[in-house]
Structure 1
Amino acid sequence: MEMKWPHGRWATAIAVTFAAGITQVHAQSSVQIGGLVSAGVNYTTNVGGSASTFMAPAGVWRPNIFFIRGTEDLGGGLKSVFLLSSLFSIANGGNAGGPGSMFSRESYVGLSNQWGTLTAGQHRDFMFDLSTHGYSGLYFAGRVGGHQGPFANFGTPYSGGGSGDFDRVNGEQIDNSVKFTSAEHAGLTFGALYGFGGQAGNFGASSASSFGANYANGPFGLGAAYTMTKDPQLNGGNDGFRNIGIGASWRPGFWKLAALATWSRNTATGGQIAAYDASVGYDFTPAVGASLTYTYMNGNQVLQDKHSNQLAGIVTYNFSKRTTVYLDVSAQRASGPGAMAQIYATPGASSSASQVMTSVGVQTVF
């Protein structure tokens, strides 16, 4: 099922990839089935002291996803909406969202009218919108443009206690949540999310809250987001991770320019990471395009003032609106006491301050 997206060459691929992050449904009484399948060979120069060649089961440029979504017209401008979506491994067909998860990416049901959409279920928070609107390096370079770096002791619970996607722009789930996303008003959309902690006797413990706003006017875009997730393992569920982000983009002609800044803090330890992306993309022809993202990540004193510089670039060739081949290269250099580089989507950290990852792959959408 072909979908439209307003930004040219990556139209269908990105539309399908981020379909689970878009809650405003416009179809009339319909059900859609779609997804994205990607596979490739990846080479990393140093993982724990040795080179590694592997196939990333969840995809590198865009994650493998399958979704079912639908809407029913209830009359008077009111509609019911639902979404069920899963991440999966192309290597073995298994679920890539965690053991026991049938719909591991996003699943919700709700109501929509001219004012916006209200849903309940499992959602991505508004930090993810900074990627869906095209501000992050993740949007340009794929998963290797995500944020990780030499901050293994930052403690994010969804990355084995490390720092993978510490600012949540790659899209992390919030279970047991209610989310409102407004309709567009003169280019402005906004929203709020609340995740129930479910801890008896302490309503706010282990809870989550998120807010976001985005403004688009022709080639210009500006967005901001805030997310606070309390971890049941930190101070009885009263501490957790606070994320703030702001991004902007400008798309004159065949050029795509974007910038993103995020600040992430572990409120229990005081550890904080600032990350800054600057991205540029260009469509040489309708079939050939390229982009480059520079990312600087800096930890505070609690994280021993470690920091890293990273470049991520990609060249793509579109055989059609649905099928694309790509070459994706990312290089990171870390600094600070005992700093070991780690690019997001690699199997593990380098044994040194440097790491390079190269991917050659193909993806198709349906």
Structure 2
Amino acid sequence: MVKTEWFAKRNIAVGVTMVLFAGVAHAQSNVTLYGLLDSGLLYTSKTLNSATGQNAGKQFSLIDSGSAPSQFGLQGTEDLGGGLKAEFKLESGISVANGGFGISNGNLFGRQAYVGLKSDLGEVKAGLQLSPFFLAAYRLDPRGMSTFGSSAIIYVDSVAATGVFNSNAVSYTSPVIYGFQGSVMYALGGEAGNFAAGRQYSADLHYDNGTLLIDAAFYNGNSGGTGQTPIPTTVDFFGRMLGASYKFGSLTVKASFASYKVSGSFSSNVYGGGADYYITPTIDVNGGVWYTTDRNDSSNHSVLGAVGGQYLLSRQTSVYAQVGIVNNHGKMDTGLSIDGALYGTTGTTVGTVVGIRHLF
């Protein structure tokens, strides 16, 4: 009887302690579930036959991620006191079209999976993450790196997911100082006895005063290492990027230069520019043009152009329509859409996509 009573009192004490700790944790930390679902109807006047390299004819299909990558994730922070916070993010690409993995490195939580610390001195993250080079490309794209008709097509066409999703990476991002902010990232290849295999590093420095943005970044990555994924993320390449943007009220104009020197493939220069304009708070239109040329053989070149519009039905839901055209010469195979038309054929291809996007 005494023993039973002691256990009852002990369980009550433990329960009260757990409730108290749960209350403290709830007050100091938070976890958020978020996501984006995007699906569209794609039409292209030509389609690449991957077996023959020739035109397979017109296509009309439902695709995932017609304007932005479908995804879901968990992110959270914990206040450690003194201005220091712990953070984490787990983000997975999904396909609305078939329920499988979407735009990612091909793994569960293959978009981002990291833990970190953040304070007034900057931010440190460890794990799978986006490179400073890719984030610079995103900032300098007038179409927000749409998955249709933007610099994202040229990026993925050149190096797949390398530099987008970096495994085994450690990064530091500085605080903003007089408009300047810098980022560095180092990804370890992890191969015993060969530190160079799979090693990747990247850096970015940009200035942003709210009106003018100037951005410069580079990326250097080796093939191999232990970070192999279903979607290639260790293509051997050296990348550079330089660009600027300027805001005139609701209008933002952008221009950029990028270089992709890929081992065993093209050494491409990409010149791009365009504009984004909010006609009203709920109607956004944008357009861009990119000229890509192979420095080793100028007969290999392409021109990609696209315009698009988005109408916000609510804070979470929008509908969109986009039209693009690409012209390939020589061995260049630039496409129009990451899903369904990543690679194109010689000559001119016209395409369009209409769809719906929902945030949660």
TM-score (norm 1): 0.80
Residue-pair matches, total: 318
Pair 1:292-2:279 in alignment: no
What is the CA–CA distance in structure 2 between the aligned matches of 1:217 and 1:250, rounded to whole Å?
A: 10
Mark the CA change 1:137 to 1:55 in structure 2 (over 3 Å): closer, same or farther: farther
Task: Quote the residue 1:275 is aligned against.
Answer: 270
Task: Quote the residue 1:94 is aligned against.
Answer: 100
What is the CA–CA distance in structure 2 between the aligned matches of 1:262 and 1:136, rounded to whole Å?
A: 11
Alignment equivalent of 1:311, drawn from 292, 299, 305: 305
Task: Quote the residue 1:209 is aligned against.
Answer: 201
Task: Quote the residue 2:74 is aligned against.
Answer: 68
Task: Quote the residue 1:50 is aligned against.
Answer: 57
Query: How many angstroms does 1:339 deviate by?
Result: 4.7
**Aligned to 1:180, what secondary structure does the other structure show?**
strand
Query: How many angstroms does 1:358 deviate by?
Result: 0.4
**Aligned to 2:144, what secondary structure does the other structure show?**
helix
Identity %: 27
What is the CA–CA distance in structure 2 between the aligned matches of 1:148 and 1:289, rounded to whole Å?
A: 21
Query: How many angstroms does 1:93 deviate by?
Result: 1.8
Residue pairs, 1:224-235, within 5 angstroms: 224-232=216-224
Instruction: Verify the 8 A CA contact 2:157 2:334 in the aligned structure 1.
Output: no
Amino acid at match of 2:320: Y
Query: How many angstroms does 1:28 deviate by?
Result: 6.0
Alignment equivalent of 1:256, drawn from 252, 258, 264: 252
What is the CA–CA distance in structure 1 between the aligned matches of 2:292 and 2:84, rounded to whole Å?
A: 45
**Aligned to 1:128, what secondary structure does the other structure show?**
helix
Amino acid at match of 1:145: S
Task: Quote the residue 1:173 is aligned against.
Answer: 165
What is the CA–CA distance in structure 1 between the aligned matches of 2:111 and 2:352, rounded to whole Å?
A: 26
What is the CA–CA distance in structure 1 between the aligned matches of 2:170 and 2:213, rounded to whole Å?
A: 26
Pair 1:220-2:212 in alignment: yes
Task: Quote the residue 1:343 is aligned against.
Answer: 336
What is the CA–CA distance in structure 2 between the aligned matches of 1:170 and 1:44, rounded to whole Å?
A: 27
Residue by residue over 1:272-328, the C-alpha shift from the partner in whole angstroms, topping out at 9 and shown as x without a partner, is 101111111222222222111011111122x56311111110011111222111111
Task: Quote the residue 1:36 is aligned against.
Answer: 36
Instruction: Verify the 8 A CA contact 1:141 1:314 in the aligned structure 2.
Output: no
What is the CA–CA distance in structure 2 between the aligned matches of 1:143 and 1:311, rounded to whole Å?
A: 10
What is the CA–CA distance in structure 1 between the aligned matches of 2:285 and 2:82, rounded to whole Å?
A: 46
4+ residue runs over 2 A deviation = 97-100, 140-144, 146-149, 163-171, 268-271, 338-344, 346-352
**Aligned to 1:130, what secondary structure does the other structure show?**
helix
Pair 1:80-2:86 in alignment: yes
What is the CA–CA distance in structure 2 between the aligned matches of 1:226 and 1:358, rounded to whole Å?
A: 32
Amino acid at match of 1:257: V
What is the CA–CA distance in structure 2 between the aligned matches of 1:170 and 1:63, rounded to whole Å?
A: 16
- Structure 1: 5+ residue runs without aligned partners? 1-26, 150-162
What is the CA–CA distance in structure 2 between the aligned matches of 1:165 and 1:341, rounded to whole Å?
A: 7
Coordinate RMSD, CA, aligned: 2.5
What is the CA–CA distance in structure 2 between the aligned matches of 1:198 and 1:170, rounded to whole Å?
A: 16
- Structure 2: 5+ residue runs without aligned partners? 1-26, 49-55, 226-233
**Aligned to 1:342, what secondary structure does the other structure show?**
strand
Task: Quote the residue 1:245 is aligned against.
Answer: 241
TM-score (norm 2): 0.81
**Aligned to 1:46, what secondary structure does the other structure show?**
coil
**Aligned to 1:74, what secondary structure does the other structure show?**
strand
